[in-house]
Amino acid sequence: MGFGLLADRNRWPAATLTSNADWSPNSPLASCQSLPLLTAAVSSRLGTSANPVVVQAVFPERYSCTYAGFFRINLRQAARYRLELFASTTFTGLLFDTRSTTTGRDRAVVPSLLDWRQLRWGDSNLFRGDLPAEDYQLYPTNLHVTFPLCRVGSCRWTFYGAAYQPDGTNADAYSLGYGWLSDSLQFFRSLDAEDGYVPTDEVTRFPGGGVSVEPGTGYRTVTVPRQVNGRQIRDSLFDLARRVDFHKPVVWLPNIDDPAACFRYGGLFQRRGDHANRWFASAYTSSTTSLEEITT
């Protein structure tokens, strides 16, 4: 059982963005404020620890927030990022900083994910404990940051390190797919929750045993049941389902205390099935909602 997170109201599109780097005229910085994920903001350079790429956001009002993220970015595993949240719209009154309180280091794009018993001597992930290099690009590269509830007036993202092209070769620019900053609904995930993977390859079989395969792009699915919902969670889940319908995005993190679970199974989703509340007491229900990954 994990402490899951659902978020559906994104404040990032309302922000005024600035940066210390130039961005492509065909893929401006504002591209990261809207979907689809294929339309990304593309920077003119990579960042270094001495000269990182910085994106600053000022919001029209102070928002109550518990989650921030970036979806479909192209940073490599060892690249670093930082998120700073401020109370004012002038980047004063620091509320939260992702830097380690003990070492002052910025976070790796993919933190240590694997149990030490899964590590093998000589593997590419031996010392960092992250995903093996050959598995890294099986999943979309997303950044997820959770933090205690605070009222945010401005924020600053900082990026530096290597990036990759879709074919896996080195890139000379950052691609930022979609930003998110919002409050979220957090609750214990039920033991009978389900995570799935749906391949979209089209397989044609011919007489004599021949097979033709047209490759597709697979996507992930998740079913999130809640066996016991108090009145507050029950109403909040139902409100969320009504707000998103079947076309608006929602962020799902299966376990905010487990980076591996969030990297593999969390991300940007859409509701794909009916949301059901089943009453079994005057103030309690069992709720179920199904989601599928947004792939474009």
The per-residue pLDDT for range 260-277, each reduced to its tens digit, is 788 888 999 999 888 888
267-288: average pLDDT: 86
- Give kind and range of the element (H or E) at residue 222: strand 219-229
Total H helices, total E strands in the chain: 3, 21
Per-residue pLDDT for 176 more than 80?
yes
Q: Is 243 left (phi over 0), alpha (psi -120 to 50) or beta?
A: alpha
Specify the residue for token string 């065909």.
Answer: 26
Query: pLDDT of 55-69, one tens digit each?
Result: 999 999 999 999 999
Q: Report the Cα 237 to chain-centroid distance in Å.
A: 20
The whole-chain average pLDDT of the chain stands at 89
Give the integer Cα–Cα distance in Å for 58 and 200.
Answer: 40
Chain centroid offset of residue 132 CA: 20
Q: Hey, is 199 helix, strand or coil?
A: coil
The count of C-alpha atoms lying within 13 angstroms of the C-alpha of 46, restricted to the half-sphere facing its C-beta, is 16
| Cα–Cα–Cα angle for 289, 291, 296, rounded to 5 degrees | 160
What pLDDT does residue 6 have?
A: 93
Whether a cis peptide bond, with omega within 30° of 0, leads into 36 is yes
CB count in 10 Å sphere of residue 249: 20
Q: How many Å apart are CA 180 and CA 67, to the nearest integer?
A: 8
Report which of residues 198 and 11 the model is more confident about.
11
**Is the pLDDT at 127 greater than 70, yes or no?**
no
Q: Which two tokens stand for residue 39?
A: 């339309």
Task: Tell me the C-alpha distance between 190 and 175, whole Å.
Answer: 35
Whether the predicted pLDDT of 163 surpasses 90 = yes
282 pLDDT band (50/70/90 cuts)?
confident
Percent of the chain with pLDDT over 90: 53
| Least confident among 1-5, 101-105, 246-250, 273-277 | 1-5
Q: Residue range 99-104: average pLDDT?
A: 84
